[in-house]
Amino acid sequence: MSGKGILEIRWHGRGGQGAKTAAQLLAETAMDEGKYIQAFPEYGPERAGAPIKAFTRISDEPINLHCGVSNPQIVVVIDPTLLDAVDVAEGIPEDGILLVNSDQSPQVLRQKLNFRKGKVYTLDATKVALETVGLPLPNTPMLGALLKAADLVSLNKIEDKLTEKFLKKIGEKKTKGNIESVRRAYNEVQAG
């Protein structure tokens, strides 16, 4: 049982790759569009490089649930090396979405993960990040790819949010790079 009308997303990443930030950016953007939200990481004995999970909940109604997410409609894998380490498809329902940062095609990944139903999307987000931001931080391009896979919030709103959050912190050049990475990801993500 889950709360009625709540969209749940699970993010897989490694400590330091921005899974928590991505989960929060999406939630905050949805909030700006009038939704109720939750975004929370799963904390263990974390340090840079360790596999971590983060979660986003989005709903039209206030969200009362305060338990973990076990059946996310969408799973986003930010680091391709996690595919061998974590069961990223765990708990995804049959009509769910699996989005992976990978240079492989959705078809190949579907086979590899034995994920038969639902939709699979892939994007080489690390490459996009390196070419736009100049840093191997695939979390923002994965946000762009996610918006193509699921119409959660508008692309413009995500760009506004990135500007709001990043401009002061990382400067105009890198902020523009991040926005460019979101747009490219949105256009280049492959479905299958």
What is the Cα Rg of the chain in Å? 15
- The span from the CA of 58 to the CA of 37, in Å, is 5
Q: How far is the CB of 47 from another protein (least distance, A)?
A: 14
- The span from the CA of 187 to the CA of 89, in Å, is 24
Letters for 7-46 (x = contact with another protein by CB under 8 A, - = none) are -----------------x--xx--x---xxxxxxx-x---
Among 2, 104, 163, 190, binds another protein (CB under 8 A): 2
Q: How far is the CB of 117 from another protein (least distance, A)?
A: 23
Stretch that binds another protein, among 1-9, 98-106, 131-139, 151-159 (CB under 8 A): 1-9
Which residues contact residue 189 at a Cβ distance below 8 angstroms, ignoring those fewer than 6 apart? 99, 121, 122, 123, 144, 145, 148, 149
Q: Which residues pair with 77 in a beta bridge?
A: 12, 100
Nearer CB in complex with another protein: 60/103? 60
Nearer CB in complex with another protein: 31/155? 31
Q: How far is the CB of 156 from another protein (least distance, A)?
A: 19
Q: How far is the CB of 39 from another protein (least distance, A)?
A: 4
Q: How far is the CB of 98 from another protein (least distance, A)?
A: 22
Q: How many residues bind another protein (CB under 8 A)?
A: 24
Q: Judged by CB under 8 A, does residue 63 bind another protein?
A: yes
Nearer CB in complex with another protein: 47/173? 47
Q: Cα-flanking dihedrals φ and ψ of residue 116, to 5°?
A: -85, -45
- The span from the CA of 128 to the CA of 6, in Å, is 31
Interstrand relation of 6-14 and 97-101 (parallel, antiparallel or unpaired): unpaired
Site for another protein, residues 65 to 84, rule: CB under 8 A = 65-68, 70
- The span from the CA of 106 to the CA of 70, in Å, is 23
Q: How far is the CB of 35 from another protein (least distance, A)?
A: 8
CA distance to 63, 72, 152, 171, per residue, from 33 (Å): 16, 21, 10, 26
Q: Which residues bind another protein (CB under 8 A)?
A: 1-4, 24, 27-28, 31, 35-41, 43, 62-68, 70
